[in-house]
Amino acid sequence: MSTLEIVFRRSSVHLVHDLKCMDEGADLNDALLDFFVRLGQALVPENGLDLERPPVAFLGSHFYDVLCKGGATDGQSGHANVANWAKRRLGTGVFFQSDVGSLAVAVNETLRDDKGEDTGKHWWLALLLNLGPPSAPSEPVNVMLCLDSYSRGDTTFDPPSRTILAGADFHAYPMEVQNLSRAGCHVLIRFRAKGDGSAGPLPDPKASVIEVSGKKFYDPEVELDGDEKASPGPEGVGAGPQLHDGYMHFELDSECMTSGEHVLEYGGPGVYKPPLRLILKRRMNVFQRHVASFLRGYLRTEWSLGKAAAAAPAAAVQTRPNDEAKVLDVPQQETANDCGFFMLEQIFLVLQLPPPTLRLLAKASVADLVALPWPKQQDILLRKEKLHSGLGSLFSAAQNAGCTDVEVLLRQDAELRQLLRASMVDEASTAFREAVEAWEVRLHCQESGGDVASEAKRRRVTAGSNGHSAT
């Protein structure tokens, strides 16, 4: 009889019901997310299988939804909904022990269109660093990173951003952009172009080009208001007044940053001058502030109920402004269904880092954090293949051993441990860890006045003498 279900630390995966969620075009479900995170906690960190607590805590895919249920108005009141979750998974003392560096929270947001209509669910990761009350006024605590592979941003230009048809009179052929919005790899531009006919028909908006993050993208979809069509119009000069009023939609790739400069060449290179340099600045939205506030309220309650609170000065547990977060420009998903896998890969990456480094990352600037090599769409496609293969090997091992307890299988089979770990971390993962280590060296030298090259060499020698190796 074939093995249909395997279990690892209270998380189970079914061969039929869950594995289909790894097929092309399918969404990662909560069962697979919980299972893979727990497996990653055990296999990605050095000697992770024997750690009392993982360096990155994770309370399950449903944690945030349950925290907020029942009309909870903040994280303190919502704590009652999840009062024992942390203790059950991490033991007494929970997040504030030295071996826990961060808390990863899966946020399942309901996306809505401009009319407020529900357009579906979307996973993104809230990563909290340096958990607990501040030990000094200058120390950042409970710093939250928003890691979203389907970032949204919107800016309205008032007055509109304007350019002119090359060689035409200033007032004869103006083109202006009123709004720019981003949703993942999608760019939507609200534009208006007019021509009095003195220089011929209006250029075709479909020939427009946009440059983002040093890459150019062509062939936008164009939708004009009213009866206007996105066509060059009749040949020849004196075509009469024309108006193109509508939207352009460009498809970018995973590596294009959401915030920053979007350079639009309307009608094609050199057709209008100057090119429009449209700046989009991402800001925390209402929902992100809600998440930050609830999670910090939850952590404050955990601290106040813990044994450590009794010995802490009263000032250390006072509430401070708690709805801020660092919103990072990370690579975006090019597909409609990979948000869960982006979040999972981000968790795998930070699981490589030791707790002191995770806590130290709370000091990193947004620019330093954005500069880290976060996963791109191509990385996600490769990770999905490796995880699918690894899960197949795990089911085969369970079948051959007649055992569905993954922990037993892992402890008995070193080769299986290595195979599964290789499905979660690779050269790209190592590059992330090394980039964080390089930042840590720079920070240390900045604070101590030391030399970066000498400090990096010292750390390599220390790591080598300690005999660090993969699990």
Cα separation, 436 vs 442, whole angstroms:
10
What's the whole-model pTM score?
0.90
Strands (E), 77-219: 102-112, 118-129, 143-147, 152-165, 174-183, 186-195, 209-212, 215-217
- Beta-bridged to residue 108, according to DSSP, are 123
- Does residue 127 sit in helix, strand or coil? strand
Q: What are the φ and ψ backbone dihedral angles of 376, each rounded to 5 degrees?
A: -105, 175
Give the per-residue pLDDT at 323. Answer: 82
pLDDT at 2: 78
Stronger pLDDT, 466 or 88, i.e. the higher one:
88
Picking from 122, 445, 78, the residue whose alpha carbon sits closest to that of residue 296 is 78
Comparing 379 with 461, the larger pLDDT belongs to: 379
- Write down the pLDDT at residue 93: 65
> For residue 319, is pLDDT > 60?
no
Query: Residue 35: pLDDT band by 50, 70, 90 thresholds?
Result: very high
Q: What is the pLDDT of residues 19-32, one digit of tens each?
A: 898 888 889 999 99
How high is the pLDDT of residue 1? 60
pLDDT one-digit tens code per residue, 161-198: 999 999 998 899 999 999 999 999 999 999 999 999 99
pLDDT of residue 304: 85
Half-sphere exposure of 375 (CA within 13 A, CB side): 32
Q: How far apart are CA 266 and CA 272, in angstroms?
A: 6
DSSP classification of residue 16:
T
The dihedral of CA 37, 94, 373, 64: what is its sign? Answer: positive
pLDDT in tens, 191-235: 999 999 999 999 999 999 999 999 999 999 999 986 454 445 445
150, 220, 146, 168: which is closest to 190 by C-alpha?
220
Whether 7 shows a pLDDT value over 60: the answer reads yes
Angle between helices 339-351 and 377-401 (to 10 degrees): 80
Mean pLDDT for the chain overall = 89
Residue type, 40: G
Answer yes or no: are the C-beta atoms of 125 and 107 closer than 8 Å: yes
Task: Note the pLDDT of residue 95.
Answer: 86
Q: Which of 131, 102, 150 is nearest to 350 (CA)?
A: 102
Query: Is the pLDDT assigned to residue 315 strictly greater than 50?
Result: no
pLDDT for res 355: 96
pLDDT, residue 458, reads 65
pLDDT at 66 over 70: yes
For 100, other C-beta atoms within 10 Å of its C-beta total 23
pLDDT in tens, 239-260: 678 999 999 999 999 999 999 9
Q: Can you give the pLDDT at residue 313? A: 46
pLDDT of residue 19: 87
Cβ 133 vs Cβ 141: under 8 Å: yes
More confident residue, 383 or 136: 383
Angle between helices 414-422 and 377-401 (to 10 degrees): 160
394 close to 406: Cβ distance less than 8 angstroms: yes
Q: Is the pLDDT of residue 78 over 90?
A: yes
- Rounded CA-CA distance 206/222 in Å is 6
Residues 437 and 356 sit within 8 Å (Cβ to Cβ): no
Banded model confidence at residue 282, pLDDT cuts 50, 70, 90: confident
Confidence of residue 316 (pLDDT cuts 50, 70, 90): very low
Confidence of residue 87 (pLDDT cuts 50, 70, 90): confident
CA dist 149 and 36 (Å) reads: 19
Sign of torsion, CA 448 454 455 461?
A: negative
pLDDT on residue 450: 73
